[in-house]
Amino acid sequence: MDSFSTLIRTASHEQHMEAETSTFMSDLLGGRLGVDAYARYTEQLWFVYEALETGAEKSAADPVAGPFIRPELFRLRALERDLAHLRGPEWRANLSAFPATQAYADRVRVCAESWPAGYIAHHYTRYLGDLSGGQIIRDKAEKTWGFEKKGDGVRFYVFEEISNPAAFKRSYRELLDAVDADDLEKQRIVAECKRAFALNTGVFRALGEEFPLSA
Ligand code: HEM
């Protein structure tokens, strides 16, 4: 039987392609969007990571979710530095979430508070993605909008304390494989992961609507 890390990757493969090829992501990676769209996207991420990382303290003490909580992954401070750069020191004043973003953050919070295994699904979907495709987005953002390499504006994508992302991802997959859950609970985690991808797609859809390229 496949390991759990393989199972969760395979199960979300189709939705991963969907996210990658969403109009918003294609336009972003195609260099067709203005920096304002990128800033708006970064704002949405703030709400998601606020929910993920505010719950982290509680999750850290949990036997199931605890091993996943690694401070070197935390992104909220990096996002805040990026937003200060993108929107200015008053960035908080005009921060707003799309309804789709609110729904995503709310779901993360529910899991963080009441279902540690479900929280893992959200943790995996975000952080392993950021360590992977996030690097492609960073490279594109640096080139399209002229941010300093790994500097303000793209710090979200820079994991200063992870010197070897490939090794980190390997050890992360070992943690997934060691999750203490029966088959039914593992299926539920996979389903939550799919839900996490769908929630991301919802945010991309809202962004695509706010930043259409051609009417
Ligand atoms: C244009 C956008 C994206 C690109 C170019 C991209 C690209 C990639 C690549 C190349 C990998 C493989 C890394 C490896 O095998 O080690 C990967 C993995 C991953 N991506 Fe994405 N990605 C994108 C968007 C997303 C989004 C929106 C999510 C979810 C929020 C996501 C979640 C993941 C996850 C969870 C993995 C880890 C799969 C695993 O090994 O278990 N990605 N991505």
User: What is the rounded CA–CA span in Å between residue 80 and residue 89?
Assistant: 10
On whether residue 215 sits in a domain, the answer given is: no
Q: pTM value?
A: 0.96
Structure tokens at 18: 């969907």
Q: Give 47-98 as a DSSP string.
A: HHHHHHHHSHHHHHTSTTTGGG--GGG--HHHHHHHHHHHH-TTGGGG----
Query: In the prediction, which pLDDT does 1 show?
Result: 75
The answer to whether the CB of 167 is under 6 A from ligand 1 is no
Q: Work out whether the CA dihedral 116, 120, 121, 122 comes out positive or negative.
A: positive
- CATH value at residue 182: 1.20.910.10
On whether residue 56 sits in a domain, the answer given is: yes
Range of the domain at 116: 4-210
User: What is the rounded CA–CA span in Å between residue 165 and residue 168?
Assistant: 5
Query: In the prediction, which pLDDT does 81 show?
Result: 98
Q: Find where tokens 């729904």 sit.
A: 103
On whether residue 162 sits in a domain, the answer given is: yes
On whether residue 60 sits in a domain, the answer given is: yes
* Predicted confidence pLDDT, tens digits, the chain (215 residues): 789 999 999 999 999 999 999 999 999 999 999 999 999 999 999 999 999 999 888 899 999 999 999 999 999 999 999 999 999 999 999 999 999 999 999 999 999 999 999 999 999 999 999 999 999 999 999 999 999 999 999 999 999 999 999 999 999 999 999 999 999 999 999 999 999 999 999 999 999 999 998 64
Structure tokens at 92: 């908080």
Give Cα 207 to chain centroid, integer Å: 15
On whether residue 71 sits in a domain, the answer given is: yes
The 10s digit of each residue's pLDDT in 112-125 is 999 999 999 999 99
Phi, psi of 74 (to 5 degrees): -50, 135
Structure tokens at 16: 């991963």
The answer to whether the CB of 16 is under 6 A from ligand 1 is yes
The 10s digit of each residue's pLDDT in 63-101 is 999 999 999 999 999 999 999 999 999 999 999 999 999
CB of 24 closer than 8 Å to CB of 194: no
Distance from Cα 193 to the centre of ligand 1, integer Å = 13
The count of structural domains within the chain is 1
CB of 82 closer than 8 Å to CB of 43: no
Distance from Cα 25 to the centre of ligand 1, integer Å = 12
What per-residue string of b and e applies to 103-116 under the rule 16 or more CB within 10 Å gives b?
ebbebbbebbeebb
The answer to whether the CB of 129 is under 6 A from ligand 1 is yes
On whether residue 107 sits in a domain, the answer given is: yes
Burial, 83: exposed, middle or buried (Cβ in 10 Å; 0-12, 13-18, 19+)?
A: buried
The answer to whether the CB of 19 is under 6 A from ligand 1 is yes
Query: In the prediction, which pLDDT does 100 show?
Result: 98
